Structure 1
């Protein structure tokens, strides 16, 4: 992958650090063509299978853009006020190759022509600025596309390149509008190809005006006092147009010297400023911030929003690891459960990237601890999770706080990342906050990790082999089974066909079957997913009792004294406990991590061999996220689901009460005003099978729960948690290449046609070929 990144200016050490995490991105023979889809300046919706390295995919461009921005600021204009950087003997008036949007092309030996091929506003400024006196230059529109138009005028080093959209720039556009601070008002006349526009700056009176073909159109603007001490640069902004600037004369129309105006190249040298590009700029040239750039209090360049604290912490840690290979990039973590004094102190010292949960980000914004004026990158990681949690309005609120007036690489870029971005709700959210987003769908909406084997154990309360597990003589752990107390044993019917009794049997069978599976596969490490916090608590208690009663207490012991050593990662546990438990599992101190869906997304455990769905999730997409904890980085994984058999349902808690289940004992179903529902796991299994494009997931049959022969033979001697064979890897890569090649080729063809069309139009109407500026 290094070849795809070297052209971006990344350090070799950083390339080596990240390329292992990005090996998923694209097969070798198409990666160079498709990488710009992710690193480009437009909005992005990137869907890829779990375990494919999406965190690195957005961490890399964020770090890259932060580096570029800070480098540009460090090399930017230090002299934005007059009196500290006069031009001395400098007469080199031209359009700057540095102080411009990267999409503005400069051509001509004298740097007097600029062109833009995009339909977005792109701009730039001159190499020198005016500090005092009365100055004049001319601009002639040379050509314009279907939507082509130009804008000329004056701006300071603090202004946005989209001239006239902030207080630091004054413009006059081809539509006949004058513009300042984003207000577009009728002024003068429209102008088009061939018209000559004169731009007048009078720093004695503090006025800006324009002429068209030699006729002065009147004063357009009167500056406020705070702007008069700044240096003013001739500026242009274009879209689908080409323009020529005349700084030095001879001018097409006489300069009104009787009124004291001079062409900019004739100004006394003590009235001209040459910016010093060698010193740090607090202004953030071209950023359009208006309030000063630099690393100010809580003013991040990128906002990365995570749906859960655990994931926010993991992504923060990942980006911090990568940032060790670059200098001067400050990262802050904003979430509940952290030391808020430490977080605020970090923001006060300045931050470039903020990773956080949506609730705490909203809180910090409302309290003025986060200034969003500098933000250019908004990333929603696991974007669909925000909709599941009912946080759509909060996402839009944050989006509305971000600046959106920039162009090119100065505009706000919104990115969605997840394994599942194909719902109508996501489409509607994208319409609300994205601008014509590019879809990067690496494997399609129905993709699942190819290195994962899926099997099911049907929990049939009428199966004699399973029923035997309920007797303490054959299964001593039966005495330790703890249920969610949906059913009261004393009130259950003795009729074996009673639905409540069968539901209770399923609840009692699941932990016993779980132990048998753990033993059958000699599991040293496994994530076990439960539906609720209560289920997690009960399973933790059961495993500890079944293993001898030793509860894991952290680093006091290794935890392996209990053969079923476990800890919990669930929403009702404190952040500190969740952090400790996850680390204990990663370190191998405990064998089993019991989780709710809070850990289904993004939690990365290296070489994890097994995941067990103790209960299937409520939504099929969450199954995909759960099983994505295995099969990562081409390591084989086994996903086992314990599912109530066909014709049997499990009654589960579904609290609608105001106290969210605390102290609740209302066992009626929700239709009758209670807090329980009948969960049809078998129906959910059918949905999972449809999502996996299989008629039937293979079954593990009691009492030995052995792997089906077809799956066992496909292992080829490998073990779960180990890397798949080269043959499997090659087959996978071949499939990726075949899938991606048509789309990549289409992109290549479109690019070639666009360039050919542009060159053809230039030769036909422009009288020559474009410059290389």
Structure 2
């Protein structure tokens, strides 16, 4: 099958050809006909499957059938994403496929001045890509009206729920017309996602292009056992010995990302960090430098890495294993994209053995372990608890019980992974799009600081 067989107009096919795409991926081949027919859609697709084009291409086709030529252009398609980086990436895709069409688009998110965004909206746009918090800010400032939306897309809906955006999503749903096309994309069909879909979708087509929580076949996964104090040394050795020119490295915390970046720079490796405490300008520069090759190692937290879309990224390293097993799948899915091979390496110390077992249970396979000569772990070192936002886990202790979404729950945490009333680098601060405090003197609201994307 080719894109030309899917009923897309010549201008879109021309843009696809210019971008070098001729054959749709499985998610695209299944989703595009449904969206073209105007039906609602609920799709489970991992990162790297081409899902963005799966909704962007038919959305552009449908909007082109009735193009507005007047001075006033209401928002007719709204695409919601959980993070700034993903919003920017989706809008980049929209611009790529829309380059020969008269449709207008823009992207809005927090961390940057709101005034230029207001100016663009007042000039009129057909397609708006947004993070929920900044979208609601714009509505509150009467810079945006959503009563003419024809298509609503929730991209990475599972991550939006994880990040606490459910209340914002419900507010948005009240602002858009009841009669509209709704498209929901998620990595999994969890119970929470099904509940959200019930209130959003009308007799949707269901698409699942890969078994739930499976890892990509094109990714070679490997574990290097190593002592906790020698991880940085081993990472520098791997980068230098393998002459890696581009590697995405994951840490659990923002502080850990900053520290590792400084250490790699001291080792003579160009590195940059990307996380929620960085300004939007710094995040954008770091990602651009990484994509261009000016930076060899990009050190990221899980939240900030959403939206990092690099077709030929060869290496992903879990410098620290995630305590949430599903995040491992999201992390390694940054490589092995666009039909290319990728390598995902995890540096695992004795403290993380339980995390590794949880990951292997999720992906239903054992990850090959290779000891790097000269970095053999010291068997006399005992496991130590790992601090996760004030809680301790690791060693022989289990991270906690399960919940309806299948995530492990640390004692003293809610099912979403947040420590009640606390500030958790990996979850409570997940609205990494910076922003503003509430009117309560900056104190958390109902135990969680309010963030705006």
Q: State the TM-score bracket (shorter-chain normalisation).
A: 0.7 to 0.9
Q: In the alignment, which residue of structure 1 is the partner of 2:61?
A: 64
User: SS where residue 572 of structure 1 aligns?
Assistant: coil
1:23 Cα offset (Å): 3.1
- Aligned counterpart for 2:141 among listed residues 356, 367, 374: 367
- Aligned counterpart for 1:341 among listed residues 115, 129, 148: 115
Q: In the alignment, which residue of structure 1 is the partner of 2:276?
A: 571
Q: In the alignment, which residue of structure 2 is the partner of 1:16?
A: 17
CA-to-aligned-CA distance 1:319-362 (integer Å, 9 cap, x gap): 11221121x21112111233422211111111100011110001
Q: In the alignment, which residue of structure 1 is the partner of 2:412?
A: none
Matched, 1:417 2:185: yes
Q: How far, CA to CA, are the matches of 2:34 and 2:19 in structure 1?
A: 18
1:34-433 alignment, distance < 5 Å: 35-70=32-67, 296=72, 299-326=74-101, 328-404=102-178, 411-418=179-186, 420-433=187-200
Bigger CA radius of gyration: 1
Pick closer, same or farther for the CA change 1:444–1:39 going to 2, 3 Å.
farther
Pick closer, same or farther for the CA change 1:34–1:531 going to 2, 3 Å.
closer
Matched, 1:607 2:312: yes
Residue segments in structure 1 that go unaligned for 5+ positions in a row: 75-293, 405-410, 462-505, 548-563, 650-680, 707-773
Contact 2:32 2:58 in 1 (8 A): no
User: SS where residue 222 of structure 2 aligns?
Assistant: strand
1:693 Cα offset (Å): 2.1
Q: In the alignment, which residue of structure 1 is the partner of 2:240?
A: 519
Q: How far, CA to CA, are the matches of 2:371 and 2:215 in structure 1?
A: 25
Q: How far, CA to CA, are the matches of 2:165 and 2:3 in structure 1?
A: 40
Contact 1:531 1:616 in 2 (8 A): yes
Q: In the alignment, which residue of structure 1 is the partner of 2:285?
A: 580
Matched, 1:629 2:316: no
CA-to-aligned-CA distance 1:222-249 (integer Å, 9 cap, x gap): xxxxxxxxxxxxxxxxxxxxxxxxxxxx
Matched, 1:684 2:360: no
1:40 Cα offset (Å): 3.2
Pick closer, same or farther for the CA change 1:425–1:22 going to 2, 3 Å.
farther
Pick closer, same or farther for the CA change 1:38–1:600 going to 2, 3 Å.
farther
Q: Whose strand fraction is larger, Structure 1's or Structure 2's?
A: 1
User: SS where residue 355 of structure 1 aligns?
Assistant: strand
Pick closer, same or farther for the CA change 1:18–1:584 going to 2, 3 Å.
closer
Q: In the alignment, which residue of structure 2 is the partner of 1:219?
A: none
Contact 2:213 2:363 in 1 (8 A): yes
Q: In the alignment, which residue of structure 2 is the partner of 1:756?
A: none
Q: How far, CA to CA, are the matches of 2:20 and 2:153 in structure 1?
A: 21
Q: How far, CA to CA, are the matches of 2:188 and 2:66 in structure 1?
A: 30
Q: How far, CA to CA, are the matches of 2:168 and 2:104 in structure 1?
A: 25
Q: How far, CA to CA, are the matches of 1:620 and 1:375 in structure 2?
A: 36
Q: How far, CA to CA, are the matches of 1:443 and 1:19 in structure 2?
A: 24
Contact 1:22 1:57 in 2 (8 A): no
User: SS where residue 445 of structure 1 aligns?
Assistant: coil
Q: How far, CA to CA, are the matches of 1:566 and 1:344 in structure 2?
A: 35
User: SS where residue 277 of structure 2 aligns?
Assistant: coil
User: SS where residue 258 of structure 2 aligns?
Assistant: helix
User: SS where residue 632 of structure 1 aligns?
Assistant: coil
Pick closer, same or farther for the CA change 1:453–1:512 going to 2, 3 Å.
same
- Aligned counterpart for 2:370 among listed residues 700, 707, 721: 700
Q: How far, CA to CA, are the matches of 1:62 and 1:705 in structure 2?
A: 52
1:702 Cα offset (Å): 2.5
TM-score with structure 1 setting the length = 0.46
Contact 1:10 1:64 in 2 (8 A): no
Q: In the alignment, which residue of structure 2 is the partner of 1:660?
A: none
Q: How far, CA to CA, are the matches of 1:3 and 1:572 in structure 2?
A: 41
TM-score with structure 2 setting the length = 0.78
Q: How far, CA to CA, are the matches of 1:389 and 1:538 in structure 2?
A: 25
Matched, 1:444 2:165: no
Q: How far, CA to CA, are the matches of 1:704 and 1:516 in structure 2?
A: 10
CA-to-aligned-CA distance 1:555-579 (integer Å, 9 cap, x gap): xxxxxxxxx1111111110000110
CA RMSD after TM alignment:
2.2
Pick closer, same or farther for the CA change 1:21–1:334 going to 2, 3 Å.
farther
User: SS where residue 72 of structure 2 aligns?
Assistant: coil
1:22 Cα offset (Å): 6.0
Q: How far, CA to CA, are the matches of 2:126 and 2:336 in structure 1?
A: 34
Q: In the alignment, which residue of structure 1 is the partner of 2:344?
A: 639
Aligned residues: 375
Q: How far, CA to CA, are the matches of 1:602 and 1:39 in structure 2?
A: 25
Contact 2:35 2:59 in 1 (8 A): no
1:24 Cα offset (Å): 1.8
Contact 1:335 1:360 in 2 (8 A): yes
Pick closer, same or farther for the CA change 1:574–1:22 going to 2, 3 Å.
farther
- Aligned counterpart for 1:528 among listed residues 249, 262, 265: 249
1:704 Cα offset (Å): 5.9
1:646-685 alignment, distance < 5 Å: 649=351, 681-685=352-356
User: SS where residue 372 of structure 1 aligns?
Assistant: coil
Contact 1:382 1:601 in 2 (8 A): no
Q: In the alignment, which residue of structure 1 is the partner of 2:267?
A: 546
Q: How far, CA to CA, are the matches of 1:391 and 1:692 in structure 2?
A: 27
CA-to-aligned-CA distance 1:658-713 (integer Å, 9 cap, x gap): xxxxxxxxxxxxxxxxxxxxxxx32221122122221x21012132689xxxxxxx
Pick closer, same or farther for the CA change 1:701–1:574 going to 2, 3 Å.
same
Pick closer, same or farther for the CA change 1:527–1:3 going to 2, 3 Å.
closer
Pick closer, same or farther for the CA change 1:537–1:321 going to 2, 3 Å.
same
Pick closer, same or farther for the CA change 1:20–1:417 going to 2, 3 Å.
same
1:401 Cα offset (Å): 0.9
Contact 1:37 1:440 in 2 (8 A): no
CA-to-aligned-CA distance 1:503-536 (integer Å, 9 cap, x gap): xxx2x22212212222342211100011111001
Q: In the alignment, which residue of structure 2 is the partner of 1:510?
A: 231
Pick closer, same or farther for the CA change 1:38–1:447 going to 2, 3 Å.
farther
User: SS where residue 315 of structure 1 aligns?
Assistant: helix
Q: How far, CA to CA, are the matches of 1:41 and 1:686 in structure 2?
A: 44
CA-to-aligned-CA distance 1:127-156 (integer Å, 9 cap, x gap): xxxxxxxxxxxxxxxxxxxxxxxxxxxxxx
User: SS where residue 51 of structure 1 aligns?
Assistant: coil
